Amino acid sequence: MNIKKNIDKIPGGIMLVPLLLGACTNTFFPGAAEYYGSFTKGIMTGTVPILSVWFFCIGASIDLRATGTVLRKSGVLVLTKIATAWIVAVIAAQLLPENGLEVGMLAGLSTLAIVSAMDMTNGGLYASLMNQYGSKEESGAFVLMSIESGPLMTMVILGSAGMASFSPHHFFGAVLPFLVGFALGNLDHELRAFFAKATGTLIPFFGFALGNTIKLGVILDTGLLGILLGVCVIVITGIPLILADKFLAGGNGTAGVAASSTAGAAVANPVIIAQMNPAFAPVAQSATALVATCVIVTAILVPILTALYHRHVAGSPMHQVADDDAPASQMARNHH
């Protein structure tokens, strides 16, 4: 049976399919974790420990010796994405009630959902798109995007926007596994290779555990709003990313479009944030469902938009002149 191959056909499937299975389990068998207990309960309810191990492995996979071009490109994209999410958070905090909207077409929308959907880029999707439409350096720019992973940036944005307060030790605790992994991975390249292999393996496990925190009804109720939010993520973060790529990172904007997605790992942020700050508990379920929908929507639309944008800039006279001046580079790119 080609289970893995079929799951890979679904945008973000390796995260979203286990998440939906977990949501089905929590909806139809809500007491299963307590009934079975032991290791079964650990897999069904272990979002935080599983995610912390994944975060450690992400840190270990980052090579400090990345080239200056790669660091410049990735730094510009990461900072632009985070800055955009912060500005949106400040505006949303003024317009939305503390517990989000509870009635009307936008019921379920909260600042937590918006920030979680906007502050993390799908690094794997970005890298694959840049392999096809960009340069080797642009493809490698996903190296710093791993810093966005986990709840740290969401905590920073919510805190600086005046939405929440977190104790300093909570900030340190959120990033400590990443820093330890980063240190070990750069002290020993064999450890980096060893831990990096686990980054993909752990994704379905925390996806399933995360699904066990929500119910299918919440996903269905927020489906249309999630689609709208996904489109807004692309538009609101995509435009600044395109401009930053063109005027700060020396690109043509294609990398900016490719970075305007929502990361699969972002689905875990609302629950993690709510565990650290109970004030967000009332909106955690709906925020999780909204972010999950954003992952699907952006994973479908961003590749299409990236291809269309690349075709547009490739057809411009300025780009054609640049291509004529560097045929060897273009041949190498097409071969790659």
pLDDT (tens digit per residue) in 163-202: 777 777 777 887 788 889 989 999 999 999 999 888 878 8
The whole-chain average pLDDT of the chain stands at: 83
Using alpha carbons, select from 283, 12, 270, 247 the residue that is nearest to residue 118.
270
Give the residue, 213 or 119, on which the prediction is more confident.
119
How much is the pLDDT for 219? 73
Give 6-18 pLDDT, tens digit per residue: 887 776 677 778 8
283-328 confidence digits (pLDDT tens): 998 999 899 889 888 888 898 899 999 999 877 655 554 444 444 4
Angle at 240 between CA 236 and CA 246, to 5 degrees: 145
- The whole-number pLDDT of residue 37 equals 92
Higher-scoring residue by pLDDT: 185, 146:
185
More confident residue, 67 or 172: 172
Residue 76 confidence (pLDDT): 92
pLDDT of residue 267 exceeding 90, the answer is no
Cβ atoms 51, 59 nearer than 8 A: no
- Report percent pLDDT > 90 for the chain: 34
97 or 69: which leads in pLDDT: 97
| In the chain, where the domains are located | 15-36+69-165+213-315
Q: What is the mean pLDDT of residues 51-62?
A: 83
Greater confidence (90 vs 217) lies with 90
pTM: 0.75
pLDDT surpasses 90 at 109: yes
